[in-house]
Structure 1
Amino acid sequence: MGTKPKSIPTQAPPSPGRVTEGLRATIADPRARPGAFIRLRVTGGVRGESYDFEYRIDAEGREAGHLRDELKGRRAEKGMADAPASDPARFAALVRALDLEALMRSDTPAGGFPPDSIVGRLEVSDGEKTASFLFLADEKQARRAMRAAPAALGSAIDSLFGAAARYLNIEDVRP
C-alpha cells in the first residue's frame, strides 16, 4: 500500500537558473526567444469594489495592459495594437531592473489567502519556462494577514506597477 502525499503542490517550482539564463539570452537577442515575457496580473475584491489589472511586456518590448478599479473609479486599457512600435530595449530595461537571482529565490506563499483579497501573480518567462509568484497585492491586506511579499518580489512588483502606470498614462495603478 502506497502512502499519500501530505500536501499537493499548487504551483511548479521555478527553475531559477534556466529562466534567468533564458532572459539574459533574450536581452542579447530578442529574436532568439520571441515568446519571452513578463506579466503582472492582479485581481480580487468584493462585488462593487473589485480590482482587475494586467500588464504584459514581451521580448520585442510590445506592451499591453488594462485596469478596472471599481473602488477608485479608474479604467484604462491599451492593447499591443495601441502601443508604439516595438522596442526590445524596453523589455531589456525592465528585466535589468529586476533582481532575477533574488526573485527566483523568493519564498512566496502558494495560496491560502483570506477571502476577497486582492491577489497578484507575477510571471517571468524566457519563452520556454515560466516562473510564477503569488502575493497579496493590497499592502494593507498583506500587513493584516502577515503575508508581505519578500523584498525581491516587492521590488519587482514596484518596477512593474511603475512601467504599467507609464504605459497606461495613470499616475498610480496599484490597488
Structure 2
Amino acid sequence: MNTVIKRMLAVLMSGCCTLAAYAVDTSITVNGKVIASACQTGVGAVYNIDLGQNHKESDLASAGSATGYVAQDVVLSNCPGGTNTIKAAFSGTADSLNPTMYANKNGTGYATGVAVQLQNAIASTDVGNLATMSVNKNVSNQAIFPLRARLYSKNGGAKTGAVEVSVIMNLTYN
C-alpha cells in the first residue's frame, strides 16, 4: 500500500508543481534604404580654375571692373541609372562687398579689392555661397555643371597679390 500511496503522491505532486510557460509576442522591424551610387569625376575631387597670372592693377582700378571669364565645366560621369537630377549646393567665404561672390584669402601676399565671381555659364547667374544649381543627367549618364569664373572689383582700386578661393560643391542625387 505504501507503494500505491507513494505513486499517487508522486503523480499529484508532479501535477501541482508544473510551471506554466507563457510567451509574449515580439516583433522585429528591420529598416534600410537603397540609394543610388555617386557619379564619378574624371579629375578626382578637385577642380582648379586658373584665372591667369598677368592681370594688372590698372585693369581692376575702376568700380565694377572685371577680368574676362574662364570657363570650367564640372563633369560627372557614370551616373547610376536611378539618378535623374544632380543638385549642387555651393559654399565658401562670401565677399563682404559682393555677397554673391567669394572673398579672396587675406593676408600678406594676397590681392585686395577683388572678389571671385563664379557663375552658371548658361544662365549667367552667380553661384555664390549658399547658392544651388541643378542639372539633369544626359543620355551618356553624365551630369555637366557649366561654370565660369572671373575676378571682379566692386569699388575698384585692386592691389597686387595672389588670388585664392575655395568653394565646396555638395552634390545631392535625385
TM-score range, shorter chain: under 0.3
Tell me: higher relative CO, structure 1 or 2? Use CA pairs within 8 A at least 6 residues apart.
2
TM-score, structure 1 normalization: 0.23
Greater share of helix residues, 1 or 2? 1
Structure having the higher strand fraction is 2
Q: TM-score, normalised on structure 2?
A: 0.23
